[in-house]
Amino acid sequence: MSAPLSRFPGGLKLPGHKKRSTQQPIRKTPLSKHLVLPLQQHIGAAAVPIVEVGEKVLKGQRIARAEGHVSVCLHAPTSGVVSAIGEHAIPHPSGLSAPCITIETDGEERWIERQQIADFRQHSAHELRQIIRDAGIVGLGGAGFPSFIKLNPGVHHTVETLLINGAECEPYISCDDMLMRERADGILDGVEIMLFALRASRCILAIEDNKPEAISAMRYALSGRPHLSQTEIVIVPTRYPTGGEKQLIQVVTGKQVPSNKLPIDIGIVCHNPGTAYAVGRAILHGEPLISRVVTVTGTDVTHAGNFETLFGTPIKDLLAFCETRRQPDEPFIQGGPMMGYSLAGDDLPITKTANCILVGVEDVAPPAQPLPCIRCGDCADVCPASLLPQQLYWYSRAKDFDKTRDYNLFDCIECGCCDYVCPSKIPLVSYFRFAKTEIMNQEREHQKADLARERHESRLARLQREQQEKEERQRQRKAALAASKAAKAKEEATTSSESTDSVTEEKA
């Protein structure tokens, strides 16, 4: 039935290390005393709080509303009292703080009233998207883009294929794998709603061939839904980074998403199975997004596994529950060993984009001083985006950012394949991240400069106008004065002439 698979350039065959975290079913993380919820857990504008300190909240109650179009709402993951609204450390590579809402939990887990929709087909796609937005659903694969936008085909696009990305190619991470094994039906609920909202004609569930249990679970669930005849499971070979959106599309459909374009431009929309599951829960059960499955694994973790964790749960509580050999304040990785970033600090919460907490990576080389680039070209061979990492490195290092753009820096997905193969141990991705944020900063500064120029020019124009008006007024006043003077003079002249006239008349 399915077309033969294609492949993407480059990539790597990596040891999976997934067994460690797939021995146990998904477990629930115990409720923490405090939950810290950053207002921005998604791409776009931060949500705006609609609760006050001291207010009692129920599980699933909306505590912050979406601001602007690219934004989603935020909900209380459990019942309790809002104890603080303010700056708190967030899990971000910068280690900076951001506005957060802190909830002191009461342990009662009292739900707010849930609006369940039995037959979503009675509703319009627009209404469903609105519910998904209000439920705070974002892409759970890691980027956190608001899902309702990706479920809107718009007027200019026709979506042919919905692609569910169950590749999960990065080593150690297994949250999507476990979700597909245990909640395949829930995922298909979401898939049906997504297909309806997108008016898509078919759905492909792509799963890597190292997850046979997930494949059979999804197959079994699919066999119970004969009306989903246009949905098929495609088994893709295990190769890193197959889970990259553009890479997976290339493998499954053979089509390349052009640079600076989105998959929707070629009629494809890609979602994570976790997102599909969340959509199903939101529509059919009225539950907003308040928790996610997080993989906790690594060589230093005693009870590795997958944990359904409420957002805002301190990562240290989660790690304590799994028992680790980690010392307090020792750094750990959020995400996988290839694309994740190191975090330090014990006070960081689990957010919507936290798919994996990794403590201790196997056979990792000790950090070595990078050697000069020998231009071996290995990085270009493994680059899945067909870029030239050595050139990009060269220009990033020299801060020649215009040149990095010419070499399509922004097509880099930061998969880390180049880092992995570099014989000189150059931290290439660090250079690319540095260059990307520098370019974005330059752009912000340019915009700010343009605004300043505009405001300065309009100020000068205003001052000039005021000056002119002043001069005009002065001139008018002078003219009026002169006119009145002239009138007076004339009057005097006429009276004097009249008198002379009368004199002459008298003379005559």
Q: Which residues make up the interface to another protein (CB under 8 A)?
A: 40, 90, 92-94, 96, 98, 369-370, 397, 427, 430-431, 433-434, 436-438, 441, 444-445, 448-453, 455-456, 458-460
Q: Which is nearer to another protein, 99 or 263 (CB)?
A: 99
- Per DSSP (E only), the strands in 97-176 are 97-105, 161-166
132: left (phi over 0), alpha (psi -120 to 50) or beta: alpha
Nearest approach, Cβ of residue 371 and another protein (Å): 11
Q: Which is nearer to another protein, 144 or 273 (CB)?
A: 144
Residue closest to 289 by CA, chosen among 308, 266, 263, 265: 308
Q: Which two tokens stand for residue 259?
A: 């640079």
**CA distance to 99, 247, 449, 464, 473, per residue, from 9 (Å):** 41, 9, 41, 61, 74
Q: Quote the CA–CA distance of 362 and 304 in Å, as a whole number.
A: 14
Q: Give yes or no for a contact between 151 and 124, defined as CB atoms under 8 angstroms apart.
A: no
Nearest approach, Cβ of residue 455 and another protein (Å): 4
Nearest approach, Cβ of residue 459 and another protein (Å): 5
Q: Which is nearer to another protein, 94 or 122 (CB)?
A: 94
Q: Give yes or no for a contact between 235 and 209, defined as CB atoms under 8 angstroms apart.
A: yes
Q: Quote the CA–CA distance of 119 and 136 in Å, as a whole number.
A: 21
Nearest approach, Cβ of residue 329 and another protein (Å): 19
Q: Quote the CA–CA distance of 136 and 279 in Å, as a whole number.
A: 10
Q: Quote the CA–CA distance of 379 and 376 in Å, as a whole number.
A: 8
Nearest approach, Cβ of residue 453 and another protein (Å): 5
153 preceded by cis ω (within 30°)? Answer: no
Q: Which is nearer to another protein, 303 or 433 (CB)?
A: 433
Q: Which is nearer to another protein, 47 or 206 (CB)?
A: 47
- Cα 381 to its chain centre, rounded Å, is 29
Nearest approach, Cβ of residue 112 and another protein (Å): 30
Nearest approach, Cβ of residue 128 and another protein (Å): 30
Q: Which residue has the tokens 């980690």?
A: 326
Residue closest to 275 by CA, chosen among 346, 347, 355, 349: 355
Q: Give yes or no for a contact between 198 and 269, defined as CB atoms under 8 angstroms apart.
A: yes
**CA distance to 170, 461, 465, 466, per residue, from 470 (Å):** 71, 14, 8, 6
Q: Which is nearer to another protein, 1 or 368 (CB)?
A: 368
Nearest approach, Cβ of residue 489 and another protein (Å): 42
Nearest approach, Cβ of residue 432 and another protein (Å): 9
Q: Quote the CA–CA distance of 159 and 162 in Å, as a whole number.
A: 7
Q: Which is nearer to another protein, 445 or 501 (CB)?
A: 445
The secondary structure element, H or E, covering residue 270 is strand 268-271
- The DSSP bridge partners found for residue 60 are none
Q: Give yes or no for a contact between 338 and 16, defined as CB atoms under 8 angstroms apart.
A: no
Q: Which is nearer to another protein, 441 or 476 (CB)?
A: 441
Q: Which is nearer to another protein, 94 or 260 (CB)?
A: 94
Q: Which residue has the tokens 């910068």?
A: 94
Nearest approach, Cβ of residue 494 and another protein (Å): 49
Q: Which is nearer to another protein, 98 or 228 (CB)?
A: 98
Nearest approach, Cβ of residue 11 and another protein (Å): 24
Q: Which residue has the tokens 């505009």?
A: 454
Q: Which two tokens stand for residue 252?
A: 């499954």
Instruction: Indicate the DSSP class of residue 94.
Output: T
Q: Which is nearer to another protein, 27 or 92 (CB)?
A: 92
Q: Which is nearer to another protein, 55 or 411 (CB)?
A: 411
DSSP-based three-state secondary structure for 371: coil
389 preceded by cis ω (within 30°)? Answer: no
First to last CA, the chain: 130
- Residue 427's identity, in one-letter code, is P
Nearest approach, Cβ of residue 437 and another protein (Å): 4
Nearest approach, Cβ of residue 126 and another protein (Å): 30
35-58: burial string, b at 16+ Cβ within 10 Å, e else: bbbbbbbbbbebbebebeeeeebb
Q: Which is nearer to another protein, 437 or 502 (CB)?
A: 437
